[in-house]
Amino acid sequence: MQEMREIIINYNIEIIIGMAVAFFVLLILYIVEQFRMNRITEKYNALVKDVDGVNLEQLILETLKEVDEIKLDCDKLEKQYLELDSRLRFSIQRVGVVRYNAFADLGSELSYSIALLDDELNGLILTSIYGRENSTSYTKPIVKGKSKYALSVEEMQAIDRAIRRE
């Protein structure tokens, strides 16, 4: 401890000068950093205020809130889309029509077969046979593109057209 005191007494002027130099260096660094901070603060203030005086930060927060609302709307729309898509799978999506003359003595192709199928090839075939004295209409169920009932050539053509979406 005594040695320390002697060093301080012997070199007190040098120590004071060294501390003063360190103080002035730190003071200069502090002043430089203050100028930098002021410039950054001015730039920040210019950034968050536009010409009309609207606060950019508030504008960003409002925009983010609107984006969240839009996301919720998109989620609702996606749920509705999926529900409609699942319903549409069972609606008529494929139609095939064949017109023909059921009898050789008749013209104008007044008889027809219409296949009405959903996306899974389920549905029915509607056939109307036109004759001079009478006309007959009937349907046959279609499951996976096939019927458990015998199909005429025209009915098979109508199903084929529906499957190929012609």
Of 27-36, 37-46, 112-121, 133-142, the range with the lowest mean pLDDT is: 37-46
Query: Does the pLDDT at position 50 exceed 70?
Result: no
List the chain domain ranges: 1-34, 48-88, 94-164
| Residue 115 identity | A
Average pLDDT value for residue range 131-149: 91
Query: Does the pLDDT at position 51 exceed 80?
Result: no
Give the alpha-carbon dihedral of 92, 96, 97, 103, to 10 degrees: -120
Query: Quick one: pLDDT at residue 8?
Result: 81
Compute the mean pLDDT over every residue in the chain, rounded to the nearest whole number. 89
* Helix spans in the chain (H): 2-10, 12-48, 56-88, 153-164
d(CA 156, CA 83): 32
In contact, 125 and 151? CB cutoff 8 Å = yes
Query: Does the pLDDT at position 19 exceed 90?
Result: yes
Average pLDDT value for residue range 15-39: 95
pTM of the model: 0.55
Question: What percent of the chain is predicted at pLDDT more than 90?
Answer: 58
Average pLDDT value for residue range 84-99: 89
Distance, C-alpha 27 to centroid of its chain: 57
Other C-beta atoms closer than 10 Å to the C-beta of 93 total 16
pLDDT digits (tens, 9 = 90+) for 106-131: 777 889 999 999 988 999 999 999 88
Cross-strand pairs, 146: 143
Backbone torsions φ then ψ of 142, nearest 5 degrees = -125, 130
**Cα separation values, 74 from 22, 63, 65, 68, 91, Å:** 63, 16, 14, 10, 25
